[in-house]
Amino acid sequence: MKKPRATLDRILSKAGIASRTTTRGWIEEGRVKVNGRVIRNPDHWVETGKDVVHLDGLKVREEKKIYVALNKPTGVVTSFGDNRYRPTVYDYLRSLDRWVFPVGRLDMDTSGLLILTNDTQYGEALLQPESKIPKTYYVKVDGVLTAEEYFKLAYGLDIGHSEVSGRAVVHEVRVSDKYTWFELTISEGKNRQVRRMCEAVGHAVLKLVRIQIGDLSLGDLPVGQFKVLTQKETQKALQK
């Protein structure tokens, strides 16, 4: 039988301590021991369940998985550090004291539901294009959408950079003489997809909020607040 193995940097990141890039640095600094011996090679193979790993003298254990939903505010970047010192999603997770990574990203000007976790497999399951998890956005655009424009959004259109959007579900919520509000569900994750779709039909996005991933809704989670998800909720996010 094949022994379960993983590289040293992966063992540390899967334990929920820090990202792989960070743990690679620690390993190279000589802070990590395997079976009592300092190992400076992040790609060193470790037999899980057999080899004993220490970081700074502390035994590394596989950490329990954690899943968090954040209602990301606008003006906040979805990344760990920002070289322009803008606020990041981690500023809103200070009381969590666990390392988590964002599953995908929302643009700085987009608010709403963002899942963060330390479970890399779960993150990959949500993100891989083949999984086609639907994501619903509440959108406010400049101007009034015509029937033809709704049709284009729903049936796919050229969004530039040689990309075409796939099928989408569109529901008008409200319309005034200046603006249109609607819900748009897409099952893809192209870069800035919703904004590019709206721009392709000639309407600038004025507000964009992600309100649902799979069957998991943002609900009444206040802006800037997070909650730890139950197992049932994490499964809901995977529903197509």
Q: Which of 65, 192, 207, 227 binds ligand URA (CB under 6 A)?
A: 192
Helices 193-200 and 147-155, axial angle in degrees (round to 10): 140
CB neighbour burial string for 64-93, b if at least 16 within 10 angstroms, e if fewer = ebbbbbbbbbeebbbeeeeeeeeebbbebb
Report the residue number, 110 or 234, with the smaller CB distance to ligand URA.
110
Report the residue number, 208 or 237, with the smaller CB distance to ligand URA.
208
14 is a contact residue toward ligand URA (CB under 6 A): no
107 is catalytic: yes
Q: How many chain residues are in contact with ligand URA, going by CB under 6 A? A: 8
Report the residue number, 191 or 230, with the smaller CB distance to ligand URA.
191
Q: Taking contact as CB under 6 A, which single stretch among the options 42-50, 95-103, 126-134, 191-199 is the one that binds ligand URA?
A: 191-199
In the chain, beta strands by DSSP E = 5-7, 32-34, 37-38, 45-47, 53-55, 58-59, 67-72, 101-102, 111-117, 135-142, 158-160, 163-164, 168-175, 179-186, 205-213, 216-217, 226-228
193 is a contact residue toward ligand URA (CB under 6 A): yes
Give the integer Cα–Cα distance in Å for 23 and 15. Answer: 11
Catalytic residue among 107, 109, 142, 220: 107
CB neighbour burial string for 5-18, b if at least 16 within 10 angstroms, e if fewer = eebbbbbbbbbbbb
Window 95 to 114, contacts with ligand URA (CB under 6 A)? 106-107, 110
Beta carbon of residue 117, minimum distance to ligand URA (angstroms, whole number): 19
Q: Taking contact as CB under 6 A, which single stretch among the options 14-22, 144-152, 190-198, 220-228 is the one that binds ligand URA?
A: 190-198
Q: Which of 24, 72, 195, 203 binds ligand URA (CB under 6 A)?
A: 195
Report the residue number, 138 or 226, with the smaller CB distance to ligand URA.
138
CA dihedral sign, ordered 184, 190, 192, 195: negative
Beta carbon of residue 186, minimum distance to ligand URA (angstroms, whole number): 8
Give the integer Cα–Cα distance in Å for 212 and 75. Answer: 20
Report the residue number, 194 or 237, with the smaller CB distance to ligand URA.
194
- The answer to whether 108 touches 86, Cβ cutoff 8 Å, is yes
72 is a contact residue toward ligand URA (CB under 6 A): no
Give the integer Cα–Cα distance in Å for 80 and 85. Answer: 11
Beta carbon of residue 176, minimum distance to ligand URA (angstroms, whole number): 22
Site for ligand URA, rule CB under 6 A: 106-107, 110, 192-195, 208
The residues annotated with a catalytic role in the active site are 107
